[in-house]
Amino acid sequence: MVLVCLQVSLFLLVAFSIIYILPLYYLLSLNENPQHEKYTPYSHVGVERAEHFVNQWVVHIDGDAAFADQVAQDLGFHYNGIINGLNKHYVFSKEQHNPRTPEETLTETLGLLNHPHVLWTQQQFAKHLTKRAEVQELRRQLRAMSHVYREETEVSKYETLFTDEWWPMQWYEQDYRATNSSKRLDLNVVPVYQKLNITGAGVNLIIIDDGIEYTHEDIKDNFAPELSYNFNADKWDITPRYEDPRNKHGTRCAGELVMKPNNSKCGVGVCYGARVGGVKLLDGETTDLIESKALQFALDQVDIYSGSWGPPDDGKAMDGPGKLSEAAIERGIKEGRNGKGVLYVFAAGNGKSHGDNCAADGYINSIFTIAIASAREDGESPFYSEECTGVHATTYSGGITDPVKIITTDVHDTCTCEHSGTSAAAPMAAGVLALALEANPNMTWRDFQHALAWTSETEPLSQVSGWDRNSRNLWYHPAFGFGLINAYKLVSYAKNWKNVATQRKCEITLDVGPPTEFTYSSPWKRSYNITACSGSQNEIKYLEHVLATVSIDYRRRGDVQIELTAPSGVKSVLMRPRPDDDAEIGFANWTMLTLKHWGESPVGEWTFEIFASKYDILLDLFKSGKVKDLKLTLFGTKEMPHHYSTERIYEEDIDLD
């Protein structure tokens, strides 16, 4: 009898396992690694921090809209339309599907992929984007400062130029020096208004953020409703939701640009003659699809998009734009401004105090964006401003004289002197670029990047160690890029700028081994002789952007350091260790940007070195890291840019008169 009971119990256990456990295990395994030749896994786009997946699939179909509609019906989906700017990509939703699920619904995804005319699909998920919000400078640090850099004079020579209440406190736009022999500590903006009569007139900018209080007295006259939309609520009104006290960020960024002069209110915007619109993206659920719409909104009218946000600045995230957002940015570059390309300006990030660096931010690693870092009033790098070789240039975002940081508009028709962080630095750079764009609307997106490299100054930031000079005589620092933006010099150069030649791209897949392993005690190092596509239509003689794309297995990603040395001998540290990043997934086809070799010749020996930054007995003795794939992509020109005909000159006193 006992034996029979045992047999029955065993039978029931086996049956239960077959009916319930094995299918569940199979589904779980699908979620980890579904086996399908057309399935594209999510990597480095924020899925690890996804709040949930939504009932929305983006589907690439080999067919027109009518055919896509039929495919949707055949598979039990609703057809929700085509995606602008992305050829043959459509939006589907599933009938009777939960609006939110904690995990990807792989059965539906794989069902779509099994259709012979579906080339690719991904279910959308709620992304976790964060504002590069105000960072309160530590008061302990401020009290420790033994001097103030305005000690020569407390009065700017331009203090009475405008009547606005807080204009005298806008130290970053004025000149507080007693003599011209002193170190310049401002962006040299006022001479652009006075000597060149340029204020940004005719230039359209969009702040992509949490809304704009467009009724604000200092904003309303320059507000552009046709450049504004609320993608979080799918309606026009972009008024901030006042019940959330954090929703002041977009209003502050917009004020930096267009605060009206001489109205006795707040201060003066950097490009106060321009018009600004607002796209609300950061006040609700955000997906790759929503983000892509924001990044190309009003593309036929806009000149500059400013974004003071990105992946979390926690030292753990390694994320960037998804496929749709990447496509939107590329469309903006190819089609915007009648083919000359819109300017995408992004804040470099506020995570330095968390050990973060912007090499882990895919928005900064894009060749199509202009990454802006911060400097303090005394020329030091703030404790929050992230460093990497993708930083293009620097503006101010905080003073050492507490509590005046950046003057701008605030919600409820008020003003603030506490705007800071790289959130404040990026719009300021966008404003200066708007001035240059008024001076020369024929400049392309690459011309502006060249001009920043050619006119930004190092002298105000020179006391910070770590500057390197490349073979094109350009100074570069991973905390500041090519230096502090000099508005008057940039705009003056822009007026007579000659466009650079067509961009060329040379892509080289590199052999990684054997050996491919590395540890703390045994780095992976290999040199490659690069001809830069010599003799072909993609030949490059003068570098612009250099991209390194890597796939690396390592048990603790934050310990990995990646270095690249150019034929000139100049070294770029592409990825520095991030102590809080303990992800075990390594680098999955991750791309890093370096601008440090701008203008150099790419021909010759390039050397990669990859190593673990700290000793791990387990990895060193039993398991090593592994370099799986490596690719080098060079961008530049075969023809010498016109401005290279004379040597780059750096000046202590930045005045072209």
Whether 149 has a pLDDT exceeding 50, the answer reads no
Q: Which residue has the higher pLDDT, 622 or 436?
A: 436
For 621-654, give the DSSP string.
Answer: HT--EEEEEEEEEEEEESSPPGGGGS-----SS-
CA–CA separation, 477 and 454 (whole Å)? 14
Of the residues 325, 381, 397, 423, only one is catalytic, namely 423
616, 555 contact by CB (below 8 A): yes
- Average pLDDT of the chain is 90
| Percent of the chain scoring above 70 in pLDDT | 89
Of the residues 60, 89, 249, 477, only one is catalytic, namely 249
Whether 85 has a pLDDT exceeding 90, the answer reads no
Q: What does the pLDDT look like over 47-81, one tens digit per residue?
A: 988 889 999 999 999 999 999 999 999 999 999 99
What DSSP element (H or E) covers 334? helix 323-335
CATH number of 130-495: 3.40.50.200
Instruction: Please tell me the predicted confidence (pLDDT) of residue 104.
Output: 94
Tell which residue, 371, 361, 363, 372, has the closest CA to residue 396: 372
Biggest CA pair distance of the chain: 107
Question: For the residues 444-451, what does the mean pLDDT come to?
Answer: 98
Of the residues 69, 164, 175, 209, only one is catalytic, namely 209
**Sequence ranges of the chain with CATH classification 2.60.120.260:** 504-642
Whether 649 has a pLDDT exceeding 90, the answer reads no
CA–CA separation, 159 and 377 (whole Å)? 18
Helix (H, G, I), strand (E, B) or coil at 496: coil
pLDDT band of residue 215 (cuts 50, 70, 90) is very high
Instruction: Please tell me the predicted confidence (pLDDT) of residue 481.
Output: 98
For 523-570, give the DSSP string.
Answer: -EEEEEEE-TTTTSTT--SEEEEEEEEEEEE-S-GGGEEEEEE-TTS-
- Architecture of 504-642 per CATH? Sandwich (2.60)
Instruction: Please tell me the predicted confidence (pLDDT) of residue 654.
Output: 34
CA–CA separation, 101 and 339 (whole Å)? 41
Q: What does the pLDDT look like over 7-29, one tens digit per residue?
A: 545 555 545 444 444 444 444 44
pLDDT band of residue 178 (cuts 50, 70, 90) is low
Q: What does the pLDDT look like over 570-596, one tens digit per residue?
A: 999 999 999 999 999 899 999 999 999
Instruction: Please tell me the predicted confidence (pLDDT) of residue 471.
Output: 96
572, 563 contact by CB (below 8 A): yes
Q: What does the pLDDT look like over 180-211, one tens digit per residue?
A: 666 777 999 999 999 999 999 999 999 999 99
Specify the pTM. Answer: 0.92
Q: Which residue has the higher pLDDT, 341 or 622?
A: 341
Active site residue 249: yes
pLDDT band of residue 657 (cuts 50, 70, 90) is very low
Residue linked to tokens 């006075």: 194
Instruction: Please tell me the predicted confidence (pLDDT) of residue 317.
Output: 94
CATH number of 47-125: 3.30.70.850
Q: What does the pLDDT look like over 490-532, one tens digit per residue?
A: 999 999 999 999 999 999 999 998 989 999 989 999 999 999 9
**Sequence ranges of the chain with CATH classification 3.40.50.200:** 130-495
**What value, to the nearest 5°, has the Cα angle with vertex 50 and ends 47 and 52?**
125
381, 479 contact by CB (below 8 A): yes
CA–CA separation, 480 and 394 (whole Å)? 5
Active site residue 52: no
What DSSP element (H or E) covers 607? strand 604-612
**Sequence ranges of the chain with CATH classification 3.30.70.850:** 47-125
